[in-house]
Amino acid sequence: MTGVQLNGIKKIYEDGFEAVKNIDLTINEGEFIVLVGPSGCGKTTTLRMIAGLEEITEGELYIDGKLCNHLPSKDRDIAMVFQNYALYPHMTVFENMAFGLKIRKMDNGEIKKRVEEAASILALTDYLKKKPKSLSGGQRQRVALGRAIVRKPKVFLFDEPLSNLDAKLRVQMRTEISKLHKNLGAITVYVTHDQTEAMTMGDRIVIMNNGEVQQIDNPVSIYKNPLNSFVAGFIGSPSMNFFDCTLKNDDQTVIKIDDTEVELKISERKMNDLEKFNGKKVKAGIRPEDIKINCESESDLFFDAETGLVELLGNESFLYTELGKNQMILKNLLKES
């Protein structure tokens, strides 16, 4: 079996803290997998276990069908890029990129070929003789990528590689890493807490919380069909609005939020699914972009709410209001007049 496989992987630290609880994940050849979740959810620990930098407490890790639990990091055919790219300041760009190959005693001609190839992919050819201090943040991060690329590893592991860069550079590097992945086709496991990076880069996203996997799927499915309220609230900006309400599911499906009743126009199949919640207290979630002001379409659901603060962001606006006793946020695309 090719690819990377995590079977019931668990991490309990020496102090007894269970940082990762039972992860099952199969990463296919050429896949770009993003591990995303709030701070402390166990993303880095998972990545470090794949890298061999953290011992696996329980479960099995296979790379290309080979059990790797006790294989030293250097023998795993992986390359890692960290948030803190820590280049050697006294070495040139060429030497920084060549260093890992030199200590593996690779032939000098092959090293030169690989570094020049990587420099060309990363638009660093003109900088090979420069020292890191004369490079911009983005160029330094590209050198760190180059250091990984020259290894031609089976698996790339990225741990928040862009979080030290400013917003504009982050967007640029994001697309560069995606392009790079398309060109190289190697398995990539990318850790971030940034949902935009997760949504735009991942073939599939693994959403984690409290050391547990919440959902694994492609970005669109995760957005459209979140499995639980954690995933629904984590993905999407601004976050989904949640309301505590009571469900009535008779000839119509209605949610009662405080004193406001909202009829849900849903399919018969969905109505049947909701039957078991009839008369029960449930949590309803509505995405900010799915609520409109002054809508006219007959198929829309209506409720009254007073508008509050408005934030204008150029092409869109966020509008804060209340529904019953709940805070509610709307996202409006602003049309040019």
When binding is defined by CB under 6 A, the residue of 8, 13, 183, 272 that contacts ligand ATP is 13
Are 51 and 69 a contacting pair, CB within 8 Å?
Answer: no
Exposed (0-12), middle (13-18) or buried (19+): which is 296, by Cβ within 10 Å?
exposed
37 or 132: CB nearest ligand ATP: 37
Residue 185 backbone phi and psi in degrees, to 5? 70, 15
Q: Is 16 in the site for ligand ATP (CB under 6 A)?
A: no
Among 23, 42, 132, 288, binds ligand ATP (CB under 6 A): 42
Tell me, by CB under 6 A, how many residues bind ligand ATP: 13
Q: In what order do the strands lie in the sheet with 253-257?
A: 260-264, 253-257, 241-249, 281-286
Closest distance to ligand ATP from the beta carbon of 245 (Å): 32
Query: Which candidate, 94, 108, 106, 22, places its Cα nearest to that of 57?
Result: 22
The answer to whether residue 21 forms part of the interface with ligand ATP (CB under 6 A) is no
For residues 223-236, one letter each, b for 16 or more C-beta atoms within 10 angstroms of the residue's C-beta and e for the rest, the string is: beebeeebbbebbb
Scanning the structure block, which residue is given the tokens 């000839």? 251
Report 187-216 residues binding ligand ATP (CB under 6 A). 193
* Closest approach of ligand ATP to the CB of residue 146, in Å: 24
Cα separation values, 320 from 305, 306, 317, 331, Å: 10, 9, 10, 9
Of 40 and 324, CB closest to ligand ATP: 40
Q: Which of residues 153-172 bind ligand ATP (CB under 6 A)?
A: none
Rule CB under 6 A: say whether 40 interacts with ligand ATP.
Answer: yes
Tell which one of 33, 34, 44, 81 touches ligand ATP (CB under 6 A).
44
Residues that bind ligand ATP (CB under 6 A): 13, 15, 17, 19, 37, 39-45, 193
